[in-house]
Amino acid sequence: MTFKCSVLLGLLALPGVAQEKPAAPLIPCFSEKGPIAFRVEGVDVPKATVDRFVGIWKIRMPSMSDKTRLRNAIEKGIVPIAALYARYRSEVPEMSKRAWKAYRRLKKGEKWDVVAKEESDDPNRFGTAGSVGIRRRLYTPGLAPPGDLVEDVGFAVPLDGFSQPFATQLGIQIVSARSEEKKADPAETTREILRVLGAWDAEYRAFLQKYPHDGTEAEREAAGAQLQSYKARYRRVIAAARVELLERSYESAFYPFRLKKKR
């Protein structure tokens, strides 16, 4: 029996003999390790993740009180990502496979614009290679607020480099940066940030792949309305998310409706 097994294993290792490829590594909701602070719909949130998001918000809103900063970091940063990851957990294996495929293409030296056009769901992938515009980490009144992880990762990668895939509120993304204008205050330094996006929700992804970029005005208006309906679906998922506390010190950071009632 031992001999037969050895022969079989040897045959499987021979060139030309089909071997099953290992599955693509699952992209986690959060990359940090260590003690768990709480769970959002069953998704573990490590204390280190909370610390990271608090740090992001400290850069974004330096004058904000510690209590308000913690609530914003959790409610506006962590909960949306975890809630959507939990809702579309069954899609994560396929989304991870697709994201790692795009990443490997970039690692091999393929041009960002080509990979973004062929692998991304971002509606901007054709005209601007997935650019999300000139961004900075400091909040500016009257402008769209920075994205919690997009700016954090976008300012960490070297210029013209790119990140590994990571989970965000919109889906799984790979981020790059093309240009930079340095300021005395690092929080005011600007970069053009680009992304390859794998959006949550298979139905939404199919819609984005057929988005009428070159369609008539009426077609683009109809698509825009449909786009808003998918964003509303995301908001409903986030609003419905419930939290299980493992560390009581975080309790005051949540809106009361978020917390699961004790049995």
Examine the pLDDT at 148 and tell me if it is beyond 90: no
Whole-number percent of the chain with pLDDT over 90: 68
The residue among 15 and 169 whose pLDDT is bigger is 169
Cβ distance 132 to 124 under 8 Å?
yes
Q: How far apart are CA 56 and CA 205, in angstroms?
A: 29
The 3-class SS string of the chain reads CHHHHHHHHHHHHCCCCCCCCCCCCCCCCCCCCCCEEEEECCEEEEHHHHHHHHHHHHHHCCCCCHHHHHHHHHHHHHHHHHHHHHHCHHHHHHHHHHHHHHHHHHHCCCCHHHHHHHHCCCHHHCCCCCEEEEECCCCCCCCCCCCHHHHHHHCCCCCCCECCCEECCCEEEEEEEEEEECCCCHHHCEEEEEEEEEECCHHHHHHHHCCCCCCCHHHHHHHHHHHHHHHHHHHHHHHHCCEEECCHHHHHHCCHHHECCCC
What are the pLDDT digits (tens) for 208-228?
Answer: 888 887 788 888 888 889 989
Supply the pLDDT for residue 21. Answer: 57
**Confidence (pLDDT) at 4:** 40
Confidence of residue 79 (pLDDT cuts 50, 70, 90): very high
Q: Check residue 182 and give its pLDDT.
A: 92
